[in-house]
């Protein structure tokens, strides 16, 4: 890892407290996701010093993370370095570090900069936008056998497991083991589970066709399991049914109303039935980052902080929580944990901080404007739900593709994703079919 201000803070004389320009308020943003980046950009013209802290050096466009996991896209095609914001925004510094403690009384944050050691940063305004991580509902032992999908590392792990399964199936002469290797179980039928299952289905039926001599990847078994009554519960029931019908057409087995009781190295046990599988993927619940607990504020069952009308916590009006780390109700319903909500909340917090620095009133409370929800179910099919519209099919899929390309963080991302999608659409091939190597032993 590297520090941000190497010249200003030599290692041998590193101060414990962040320095700031005289008279300027210090804003610390923890998290370089949608909410954190949106807040930083909203403060571009504010008379403040901003420090953005993240333990990763990149921002991920998470809606396309499943395509990295299924070899459609390379990691670099959906990610952008956070540090590039520094060159464009003079009042912003980026710190590659992990937050280890927050002291609300002293208004300081302790951040661990890997080999450099810990630093303390003072703040006048603090925004926690650390997102979510997979939740195994009290069964953390499942994580070893069923990876979630929240980071590029997760996506590469899943891609390696999927591709390795076919290599092992090709290598073995044991029919039971071959069947186990070619069985994929996804736990959780929300948008991530549905999109991932559909993408795996097309990988095995199109991309990997004729790539092996002993096995036929198209005979793979893909099982999508969920404890709810239907898939995609946040969408209208009519769209959920259409998505389920599409999954069935792709060869995905959908089992709803089924709870997973055990996950181990041999597969899963769901509703008392063992499903032998070498690749189990967790696309079910999520929980907030542990950083939220450091605030000592009230949280919901998923660990998300309850926030007020201005995205602040009751204990400290100048401490904000946004994105997936926050929970708030609007018109009797929780604001959904989606990218557009995180962006709106981050931008709102940025404006609130800018107004308070200028001595202005806060203005109107935050209100989420739902621009619609989308999910893609394989090639040529997507669903869309807005306040006044429900649609599905090929045209909706084209709209989904266009909106996602335009939302990518950099121009080069947009160009590369467009090119790769076009190639994949015409040829059925995927250019990122790489199995990541583990660390080599000294004898290898």
Cα gap 347→37, rounded to integer Å: 9
Cα gap 96→83, rounded to integer Å: 9
State the pairing for strand pair 260-264/118-122: unpaired
For 203-226, b where at least 16 C-beta lie within 10 A, e where not — what string?
bbbbbbeeeeeebebeebbbbbbb
Tell me which of 86, 195, 261, 437 is the catalytic residue. Answer: 195
Q: Is 195 a catalytic residue?
A: yes
- Structure tokens given for 85: 């914001």
**Residues 431 and 74: beta-carbon distance below 8 Å:** yes
**Residues 309 and 209: beta-carbon distance below 8 Å:** no
Give the alpha-carbon dihedral of 243, 245, 250, 256, to 10 degrees.
80
Cα gap 204→219, rounded to integer Å: 8
| Among the listed residues 20, 10, 31, the one whose alpha carbon sits nearest the alpha carbon of residue 97 | 31
Cα gap 215→49, rounded to integer Å: 59
**Residues 404 and 63: beta-carbon distance below 8 Å:** yes
Alpha helix positions (H), 203-312: 237-250
State the pairing for strand pair 79-81/58-60: antiparallel
Cα gap 205→217, rounded to integer Å: 7
Measured N-to-C along each axis, helices 394-407 and 411-427 cross at an angle, to the nearest 10 degrees, of: 150
Sheet with 390-393, strands from edge to edge, namely: 373-376, 382-385, 390-393
Catalytic sites, residue numbers? 195
């Amino acid at each position: 890892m590297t520090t941000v201000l190497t010249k200003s803070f030599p290692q041998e004389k590193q101060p414990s407290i962040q320095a700031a320009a005289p008279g300027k308020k210090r804003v610390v943003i923890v998290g370089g996701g949608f909410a954190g980046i949106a807040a930083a950009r909203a403060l571009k013209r504010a008379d403040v010093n901003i420090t953005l802290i993240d333990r990763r050096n990149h921002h991920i466009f998470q809606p396309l993370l499943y395509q990295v996991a299924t070899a459609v896209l390379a990691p670099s095609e959906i990610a952008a370095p956070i540090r590039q914001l520094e060159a464009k925004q003079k009042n912003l510094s980026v710190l590659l570090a992990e937050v280890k403690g927050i002291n609300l009384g002293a208004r300081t944050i302790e951040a661990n900069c890997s080999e450099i050691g810990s630093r303390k940063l003072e703040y006048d305004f603090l925004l926690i936008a650390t997102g979510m991580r997979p939740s195994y509902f009290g069964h953390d032992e499942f994580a070893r056998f069923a990876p979630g999908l929240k980071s590029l590392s997760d996506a590469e792990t899943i891609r390696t497991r999927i591709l390795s399964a076919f290599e092992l199936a090709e290598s073995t002469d044991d029919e039971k083991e071959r069947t186990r290797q070619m069985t994929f179980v996804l736990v959780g039928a929300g948008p991530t589970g549905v999109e991932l299952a559909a993408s795996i289905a097309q990988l095995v039926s199109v991309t990997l066709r004729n790539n092996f001599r002993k096995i036929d990847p198209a005979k793979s078994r893909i099982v999508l399991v969920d404890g709810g009554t239907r898939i995609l519960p946040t969408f209208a029931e009519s769209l959920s049914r259409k998505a389920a019908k599409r999954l069935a057409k792709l060869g995905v087995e959908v089992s709803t109303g089924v709870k997973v009781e055990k996950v181990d190295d041999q597969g899963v046990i769901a509703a008392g039935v063992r499903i032998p599988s070498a690749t189990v993927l967790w696309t079910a619940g999520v929980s907030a980052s542990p950083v939220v607990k450091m605030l000592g504020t009230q949280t919901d069952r998923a660990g998300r902080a309850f926030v007020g009308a201005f995205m602040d916590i009751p204990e400290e009006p100048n401490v904000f929580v946004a994105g997936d780390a926050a929970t708030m109700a609007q018109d009797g319903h929780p604001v959904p944990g989606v990218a557009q909500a995180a962006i709106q909340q981050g931008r709102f917090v940025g404006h609130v901080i800018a107004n308070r620095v200028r001595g202005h009133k806060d203005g109107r409370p935050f209100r989420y404007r739902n621009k619609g929800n989308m999910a893609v179910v394989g090639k040529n099919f997507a669903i869309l739900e807005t306040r006044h519209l429900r649609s599905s099919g090929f045209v909706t899929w084209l709209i989904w593709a266009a909106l996602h390309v335009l939302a990518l963080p950099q121009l080069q991302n947009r160009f590369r994703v467009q090119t790769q999608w076009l190639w994949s659409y015409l040829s059925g091939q995927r250019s990122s079919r790489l199995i990541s190597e583990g660390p080599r032993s000294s004898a290898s």
